[in-house]
């Protein structure tokens, strides 16, 4: 695990801390002809080798550098202005998967250990439950009370912001319960209430206020129940 942490640190340093915006701009403009692409790749290899701290890891550091360059080249050649966010996520996920693969190979381990770990499956199921499935469930339940806004076309809210906020708040609540920090749930609920208060007060719509309260309480309730259930199942494991 410590090797992965070191390699992830090397990745953070190389991809974010020590990569100026001028490098990024030059790579996007010149792609494989950019000298900064190769400096960037070399930096990742050097950082991985230094932080790993073992001479025997040097070939793996070279592998990390080469695969990093290939992934970056694919992103640079296929991403468009509208798909930058998607390619950023894919790019980072690919880099992290490569690091995991290198660690497993170097330490002569297999990913099968995760598949045989009951705690992994319980946590994964709990986390997935409180994301999109819960959002769909809440939307279905409270749709009969959805207020009809006369100014819906003038709404300045971000697209699907409410859905993402709900997922994030449930993940926070779930994490607080699993780690035993129940008091933090109250602060999270209070913080959301404060931010929502201004919007609801300005709207002067009682139905909208009740609608938001019902959705919030259902969201928090499901997250709390899921967290408690997962915690109970984890405690029962041998």
CA dist 122 and 140 (Å) reads: 26
Taking the whole predicted model, whether its pTM rises above 0.75 is answered as: no
DSSP code at position 158: P
Q: By C-alpha distance, which of 204, 198, 191, 200 is closest to 165? A: 191
Q: At what angle do helices 118-129 and 132-142 cross, to 10 degrees?
A: 30
Question: How do residues 46-68 score in pLDDT, each as one tens digit?
Answer: 999 999 999 999 999 999 999 99
21 or 114: which leads in pLDDT: 21
Whole-number pLDDT of residue 90: 96
CA dist 181 and 215 (Å) reads: 23
Burial class (CB in 10 A: 0-12, 13-18, 19+), 95: buried
DSSP code at position 157: P
pLDDT above 70 for 203: no
pLDDT above 60 for 153: no
CA dist 48 and 67 (Å) reads: 13
- Percent of the chain residues topping a pLDDT of 70: 88
What's the average model confidence in pLDDT over 134-140?
A: 93
Whole-number pLDDT of residue 136: 94
pLDDT above 70 for 30: yes
Q: Give the containing element (helix H, strand E) for 13.
A: none
pLDDT above 50 for 108: yes
Whole-number pLDDT of residue 154: 44
Question: How do residues 155-187 score in pLDDT, each as one tens digit?
Answer: 566 777 888 999 999 999 999 999 999 999 999
Q: Is 10 helix (H, G, I), strand (E, B) or coil?
A: helix
Query: What is the token pair recorded at 10?
Result: 């090397």
């Amino acid at each position: 695990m410590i090797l992965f942490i070191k390699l992830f640190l090397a990745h953070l340093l190389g991809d974010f801390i020590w990569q100026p915006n001028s490098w990024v701009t030059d790579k996007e403009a010149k792609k494989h002809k950019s000298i900064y692409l190769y400096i960037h790749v070399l930096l990742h290899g050097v950082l991985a080798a230094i932080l790993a701290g073992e001479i025997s890891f040097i070939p793996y550091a070279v592998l990390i550098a080469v695969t990093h360059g290939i992934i970056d080249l694919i992103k640079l050649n296929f991403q468009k202005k509208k798909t930058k966010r998607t390619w950023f996520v894919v790019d980072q996920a690919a880099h992290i998967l490569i690091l995991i693969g290198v660690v497993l190979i170097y330490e002569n381990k297999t990913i099968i250990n995760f598949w045989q770990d009951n705690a992994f499956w319980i946590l994964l199921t709990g986390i997935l439950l409180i994301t999109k499935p819960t959002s769909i469930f809440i939307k279905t339940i409270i749709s009969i009370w959805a207020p009809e806004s006369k100014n819906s076309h003038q709404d300045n809210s971000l697209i699907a912001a409410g859905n993402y906020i709900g997922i994030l708040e449930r993940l926070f609540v779930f994490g607080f319960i699993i780690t035993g920090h129940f008091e933090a749930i109250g602060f999270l609920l209070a913080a959301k209430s404060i931010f929502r208060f201004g919007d609801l007060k300005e709207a002067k719509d009682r139905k909208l206020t009740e609608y938001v309260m019902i959705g919030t309480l259902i969201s928090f309730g499901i997250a709390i129940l899921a967290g408690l259930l997962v915690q109970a199942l984890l405690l029962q494991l041998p």
